[in-house]
Chains A and B, each alone.
Chain A
């Protein structure tokens, strides 16, 4: 497994763990509560922050050890571009969802969580697209 594929696995695992941790912290607060009263911000910021920091640290470790297999080469860049586009689509969908919620004057809780879900799905789908491209093959033609 190449270092870049390991990096994609790290992105997938940290994004999933961050999402699960956020859900575990938030769900007990939601039972029978008015969402306007739910303090989702600390859990959201903490899980996002920890996921970003962990991904940066993993990227640094990968960059340091990448000398062993060189690169990135044209295939790495093509896969990164492709997976980035796939992940980006989910950020756009989440932004459109948040826009619709804002127009419907939904609670800020739902707008923030729609965006958060979009970020999470974007990270997961981007990592899965990258792993699939490395494992199953990638035809840019």
Chain B
């Protein structure tokens, strides 16, 4: 399975927010630490609802967290 073309700044945002741990972010958005790791590494594209929750945790707009990489359409 190809990795997602949706990239994100979650790692950087966690560090900008007091070095928030993956477990803490997971707890606040209702996901496991493993799933947060998968999202951070681009191995899983979260649902729109979860994407909004992540942006809400960091207090930033959605496109500050997730970016869509233009490229060949699958």
Write the nearest CB–CB distance from A133 to chain B, whole angstroms: 7
User: Could you say which interface size class chain B belongs to?
Assistant: 20 to 34
Q: Mark A116-141, 1 if CB is under 8 A from B, else 0.
A: 00000000000000001110111111
A71 at interface by CB-CB < 8 Å: yes
A34 at interface by CB-CB < 8 Å: no
Which of A71, A133, A140 is in CB contact (< 8 Å) with B45?
A140
Instruction: Take A76-B32, A136-B43 as given contacts and tell me if A70 and B26 are in contact as well, using a CB distance cutoff of 8 Å.
Output: yes
Which of A69, A139, A140 is in CB contact (< 8 Å) with B3?
A139
The answer to whether A75 and B42 touch across the interface, beta carbons within 8 angstroms, is no
Which residues of B sit under 8 angstroms from A133, Cβ to Cβ? 1
Q: Compute the total of residue contacts between A and B using a CB distance below 8 Å.
A: 60
Q: Count how many chain A residues have C-beta atoms less than 8 Å from C-beta atoms of the other chain.
A: 17
What CA separation (Å) do A2 and B35 show in the bound complex? Answer: 10
Which of A76, A134, A137 is in CB contact (< 8 Å) with B4?
A137
A interface residues, Cβ below 8 angstroms from B: 2, 69-71, 73-76, 132-134, 136-141
- In this complex, the member of A69, A70, A132 whose beta carbon has the largest number of chain B beta carbons within 10 angstroms is A70
Sample of 17 A–B contacts (CB below 8 Å): A69-B34, A71-B35, A73-B31, A74-B31, A75-B35, A75-B44, A75-B46, A76-B32, A136-B1, A137-B1, A138-B1, A139-B1, A139-B2, A139-B3, A139-B44, A140-B44, A140-B47
Which residues of B sit under 8 angstroms from A134, Cβ to Cβ? 34
B14 at interface by CB-CB < 8 Å: no
B56 at interface by CB-CB < 8 Å: no
Write the nearest CB–CB distance from A33 to chain B, whole angstroms: 45
What CA separation (Å) do A76 and B41 show in the bound complex? Answer: 16
- The 7 tightest CB contacts between A and B, nearest first, are A137-B43, A73-B31, A75-B35, A2-B34, A71-B32, A139-B4, A70-B32
